[in-house]
Amino acid sequence: MEQILKDFISALRSSGARISIPETIDAMNTVKLTGYHDREVFKDSLSAVLAKSFHEKEIFEECFYKFFSFDTFPENTGDCPESLAPEIMEEISPLSQMILSGNLGGLAASIREAAQEVHITGIRFFTQKGLYIHRILRHMGMDKLKLDVKHLFQQDTFYSKQMAEELEKGKDYLFENVKDFVEQQFALFSPSVTENLLEDYLKSIKLSNLEQRDFHRMHSIIQKMVKRLNDLHSRRRKTSKRGQLDFRKTLRNNISYQGLLFDIQWKKKKVDRPDIVAICDVSRSVETVARFLLLFLYSLNKSLARIRTFIFCSNLIEVTHIFDEYPVEEALVKLQSGIGLGILLGRTDYGQAFRDFEESRFHLITKKTTILILGDARNNYGDSQTGILKSMHERGKRLIWLNSEPRSFWGIGDSEMKKYLPYCHLARECNTVHHLERVVDSLLSLES
Amino acid sequence: MNLLHDKKFASIENVQQGLKNAEYICSKKIATTVYLAYHLEKPILVEGPAGVGKTELAKTAAAFLGVSLIRMQCYEGLDESKALYEWKYGKQLLYTQMLKDKLNDVLKGAKGLSASIDKLHQYNDIFFSRSFLEPRPLLKALQQKDGAVLLIDEIDKSDNEFEAFLLEILSDFQVSVPEIDTIRAETKPFVFLTSNNTRELSEALKRRCLHLFIPLPDPELEREIIRIRVPGISEKLRIQLVSFIQHLRELDLKKIPSISETIDWARVLLLLHADKLSADLISETLHIILKFEGDIKIAEEHLYEMTRKAIKEAAI
């Protein structure tokens, strides 16, 4: 039982539930207490010990049904020949005997046994399926079965031929069942590895090459990233600022000690959360990247209190409220189609965008503000309005430009990046999630 | 505690029946978790929507065990001195004033400052001893001789720091008071923690607890709950009422009515001497189950349809 429980826990782990060693020990104790005769009780008690959040409960349910499903062989191969010649039966291998006598439970058990022998729990990639099927079959005695079939055919009597055919059928059937079994085990034990591989891959791939179907996965990666960064930085700030005596509070608290100051109170300096103005280019030249940049801004918007978001193409509009009101997918579709927002999706015009910003929203920039611009700076040879960018640079705390093109392309063709460069505190190439993470990290740490 | 209550916790069925006798109808899942928590001596972390009876479970468990319930409501800014212990400053001060005269006797014969201090040192622990310790809920729970049920309510409302501070108590059932010593529980208390999931709790805390998620009840369980909690209500009304509430929960509401609201509503209907539901009756009393203006409006739109369905279902 212990082995089965261990396997089950590793199946849970690979599906994404985090289970520690003490919890495993608890699970063992639990099973000792409740036993495993009652399936419901068994499930409930393991669930209480192992799955510790609503999300994990869902994973648990799914895994439990997959893992503890009983795969008896469905009634199959027709009736085994009634006239089994006992003398032949004694000669053939145990596996063949089981097939001929229709011992389905025995077959299922022997598959499980063989699977444990060949360590099926180590299966990670779908390419390993064939290998494991082969190993299990060999372990069960497939070779002997084949030999039996050969011998029976050679004997050339009516009974032996009939049995040989029966065995052939049984062999195919067995193969199918082992295949199903391996599939099932693969589904149980592999997901996290595959998932991790995929995540790593997604993090380093260029944003413009990402496909729509990876969108959800990407969203969760970015959310994780934003949360981690947020946790990291908000915690650091809490402890770093203390040490000024709060005299009034100290006096008040110490009245009961006859004014003797022995319970001293410190003033804690309140630290500002980052105050960010983000301006994102959504024109066609950056369309594919923009989707993910917007996704990123969305996550940022959810975790930082003070962020104002603007998008532009031919003109500039504020979209903070869209992020606040709609769930992520709706919001992104709305922003990319631009319907009902008053944005003109014509030629990209950085000059116009900057003018719009200066006209109506310039007051947002204070000496605490970090300005974040996301775009490729390809201005279709229009007026670049570097003057406005310069005043933004002077007025704000920092100006960061994330460009989706590699550095060597800056300033080539209609790219105005070289002109904007002097007014950026930081200009980075940003086209993978790794880049994003690095930028945000520096953004937050310099903030505090 | 184990020796005292082993009989009550002999089997899961016993627990379920015992809780039922204390007027708490629970699913087998809840009973299993309580049973496990008792035998593994672990706290239970209870999560679920508001009003499904998380706090009630702890109260009932106390009644079932026949021990006292010690409740600690968590809130932002809750700290050690409010949760664990505090020195009785006033008493300390008063005693020093009163004993001022005695001081002369004590110091008699001591020459010079250092000799006096040495003499005083012989008495130094007097003012920081157990008699000057003001126990707060956590310490109180550890001090109970017969054991207790400790309810730490809405742990998600407290700060991260406080959560970390709880770890020592939850895993070892002991606390360290620097001036005295480590205080160990005489009998381990039965601990319930409840959370409304307003923030994610730390892994470390979760690891030390059993986790129980109480969902909204299915119709059968809810009917049973109403039968026990509101005994006077007629059979027909009870079935109609539960059926209506179940339909109501399917609507897109801001605050879905929970068990406590169903119970309240049943009591009100009983007071009004109703014996069956009707659309008018419902619209008059809707504000008891729904707590938002917007929700009431949404519900009113579907009122007739839902009433019809509820009555029809009850007739089957």
B46-56: pLDDT as tens digits: 998 888 888 89
pLDDT score recorded for residue A346: 78
Residues 23-62 in A contacting B (C-alpha not used; CB under 8 Å): 23, 26, 29-30, 33-34, 40-41, 44-45, 47-49, 51-54, 57
CB proximity list for A121: less than 8 A, separation 6 or greater: A7, A10, A11, A185, A189
* Residues B242-274: tens digit of each pLDDT: 999 988 888 888 888 888 899 999 999 999 888
Chain segment A241-295, per-residue pLDDT in tens: 456 777 788 888 888 887 777 777 777 655 555 678 888 888 877 777 777 777 7
pLDDT of residue B44: 93
Residues of B in contact with A29 (CB under 8 A): 40
A150 or B149: which leads in pLDDT: B149
- Are residues B168 and B126 located together in one domain of the fold? no
Question: What is the pLDDT confidence band of residue A74, given thresholds at 50, 70 and 90?
Answer: low
Q: In chain A, what percentage of residues exceed pLDDT 70?
A: 81
Residues B126 and B154 in one domain: no
Distance from the A245 Cα atom to the nearest Cα atom in chain B, whole angstroms: 20
Q: Residue B71: its pLDDT value, please?
A: 92
pLDDT for the residue B194: 93
Q: What angle do CA B60, B64, B68 make, to 5 degrees?
A: 75
Q: Give how far B34 is from chain A: nearest CA, Å.
A: 10
Position A89 pLDDT exceeds 60: yes
**Which residues of B are less than 8 Å from A34 in CB distance?**
12, 32, 35-36
* Same domain for B291 and B277: yes
- B110-161 pLDDT tens trace: 778 888 888 777 776 777 888 888 888 888 888 888 889 999 999 988 888 8
Least confident of B15-19, B135-139, B160-164: B160-164
Q: pLDDT tens-digit profile of B187-228?
A: 889 999 999 877 778 888 888 899 999 988 888 888 888 888
Both structure tokens of A429: 């190439």
Give the Cα separation of A316 and A314 in Å (integer).
7
Alpha-carbon gap, residue A429 to A444, rounded angstroms = 18
Instruction: Considering only residues B115 and A444, tell me which one the structure prediction assigns the higher pLDDT.
Output: B115
Look at residues B213, B231, B246 and tell me which one is the last residue of a structural domain.
Answer: B213
Residue at token pair 């978790």: B33
| Band of residue A448 on the pLDDT scale cut at 50, 70, 90 | very low
3-class state of residue A113 by DSSP: helix
Residues on chain A touching B203 (C-beta within 8 angstroms): 18, 20
> Residue A412 phi/psi, 5° resolution?
-95, 140
Domain match, B76 and B96 both:
no
| Angle between the N-to-C axes of helices B28-40 and B12-21, in degrees from 0 to 180, rounded to the nearest 10 | 110
Question: Number of structural domains, chain B?
Answer: 3
Average pLDDT over residues A328-348: 77
Q: Do A20 and B207 touch (CB under 8 A)?
A: yes
Tell me the chain A residues in contact with residue B132 when contact means C-beta distances shorter than 8 Å.
Answer: none
Asked which of B68, B103, B131 is the last residue of a domain, the reply is B131
Q: Which residues of A touch B210 (CB under 8 A)?
A: 48-49
A66 or A268: which leads in pLDDT:
A66
* Weakest-pLDDT range from A193-207, A319-333, A408-422, B197-211: A193-207
Question: What does the H/E/C string look like for chain B?
Answer: CHHHHCCCCCCHHHHHHHHHHCCCCCCHHHHHHHHHHHHHCCCEEEECCCCCCHHHHHHHHHHHHCCEEEEEECCCCCCHHHHCEEECHHHHHHHHHHCHHHHHHHHCCCCHHHHHHHHHHCCCCCCCCHHHEEECHHHHHHHCCCCEEEEEECHHHCCHHHHHHHHHHHHHCEEEECCCEEEECCCCCEEEEEECCCCCCCHHHHHCCEEEECCCCCHHHHHHHHHHHCCCCCHHHHHHHHHHHHHHHHCCCCCCCCHHHHHHHHHHHHHCCCCCCCHHHHHHHHHHHCCCHHHHHHHHHCHHHHHHHHHHHHHC
B contact test, residue of A45, A60, A238 with most B CBs within 10 A:
A45
| Whether B70 and B206 share a structural domain | yes
Kindly indicate the confidence band of residue A396, based on its pLDDT and cuts at 50, 70 and 90: confident
Asked if the Cβ–Cβ distance from B32 to A57 is below 8 Å, we say no
Please say whether the beta carbons of B8 and B18 come within 8 A. yes
What pLDDT does residue A229 have? 64
d(CA B162, CA B139): 15
Residues B150 and B42 reside in one and the same domain: yes
Of the partner residues B32, B93, B200, the one whose CB lies closest to the CB of residue A48: B32
**Burial annotation A72-105 (CB, 10 A radius, 16+ → b, else e):** ebeeebeebeeebeeebeeebbebbbbbbebbbe
Verify whether the Cβ–Cβ distance B93 to A256 is below 8 Å: yes
Residue B111: which domain range? 86-131
Mean pLDDT of chain A: 77
**At residue A76, does pLDDT exceed 60?**
no
What length does chain A have?
448
Residue A257 and residue B203: Cβ atoms within 8 Å? no
Q: Are residues B42 and B143 in the same domain?
A: yes
Of B28, B37, B93, the CB nearest to A40: B28
Of A23, A54, A257, the CB nearest to B207: A23
Quickly state the pLDDT bin for A77 (edges 50, 70, 90): very low
Residues of B in contact with A23 (CB under 8 A): 207
Mean pLDDT of A306-324: 83
B52 & B198 share domain:
yes
Residues B168 and B190 in one domain: yes
- Which CATH number is B46's domain given? 3.40.50.300
Report CB contact under 8 Å: B36, A49: yes
Indicate the residue type of B86.
Answer: E
Rounded Cα distance, B216 and B247, in Å: 13
DSSP summary character for residue A82: S
Distance in Å, alpha carbon of A328 to nearest chain B alpha carbon? 20
CB-defined contacts A:B, below 8 A: 62
ipTM for the complex shown: 0.79
Task: Please say if the pLDDT value at position B105 is more than 70.
Answer: yes
| Both structure tokens of A413 | 């063709």
B248 and B294 in a single domain? The answer is yes
pLDDT digits (tens, 9 = 90+) for A98-110: 777 777 777 878 8
Partners of residue B35 in chain A, C-beta under 8 Å: 34
Residue ending a domain, among B213, B231, B255, is B213
- Confidence band (pLDDT; 50, 70, 90) for A79? very low
Closest CB from B28, B47, B90 relative to A256: B90
The secondary structure of residue A68, as a DSSP letter, is T
Share of chain A above pLDDT 90, in %: 0
Mean pLDDT lowest among A131-135, A187-191, B28-32, B61-65:
A187-191
With CB atoms and an 8 Å threshold, state whether B33 touches A18: no
For the residues B164-180, what does the mean pLDDT come to? Answer: 83
**Chain B 203-262, CB below 8 Å of chain A: which residues?**
203, 206-207, 209-213
Chain A interface disruption, residue of B205, B207, B209, B212, most A CBs within 10 A: B207
Chain B 41-100, residues with CB within 8 Å of chain A CB atoms = 42, 44-45, 47, 89-90, 93
- Is the pLDDT at A133 greater than 50, yes or no? yes
Choosing among A41, A224, A228, A231, which should be mutated to test the B contact, i.e. which has the most B CBs within 10 A?
A41
Give B6 or A308, the one with higher predicted confidence: A308
Strand blocks (E) in A91-227: none
Q: Is the pLDDT of residue A438 over 80?
A: no
Nearest to B255 by CA among B282, B222, B287, B290: B290
Highest mean pLDDT among A338-347, B2-11, B254-263: B254-263
pLDDT of residue A78: 46
Which residues of chain A make contact with B32, given a CB cutoff of 8 A? 34, 41, 44-45, 48
- Is the predicted pLDDT of residue A119 greater than 80, yes or no? yes
**Interatomic CA distance for residues A99 and A177, integer angstroms:** 13
**Whether pLDDT at A204 is above 70:** no
C-alpha distance from A44 to closest chain B C-alpha (Å): 6
Please judge whether A48 and B212 are an interchain contact, meaning their C-beta atoms are less than 8 angstroms apart. yes
Residues B103 and B235 in one domain: no
Confidence at residue B298, expressed as pLDDT on a 0 to 100 scale: 87
Q: Are residues B73 and B99 in the same domain?
A: no
The answer to whether residue A53 scores a pLDDT higher than 90 is no
Q: What residues of chain A lie within 8 A of the CB of B209, using their CB?
A: 52
Q: What average pLDDT does range B95-102 have in this prediction? A: 82
Cβ within 8 Å, pair B207-A22: yes
Residue-level pLDDT at B149: 92
For position A222, what pLDDT does the model report? 74
Of B181 and B74, the one with more pLDDT:
B74
> How much is the pLDDT for A240?
40
Nearest Cα neighbor of A123 from A22, A71, A54, A192 is A192
Judge whether B33 and A48 are in contact, CB under 8 Å: yes
**Angle, in degrees to the nearest 10, between helices A21-34 and B28-40:** 110
Q: Which of B36, B44, B213 sits opposite A30 (nearest CB)?
A: B36
Residue A343: strand, helix, or coil: coil
**Residues of A with CB below 8 A from B37's CB?**
48
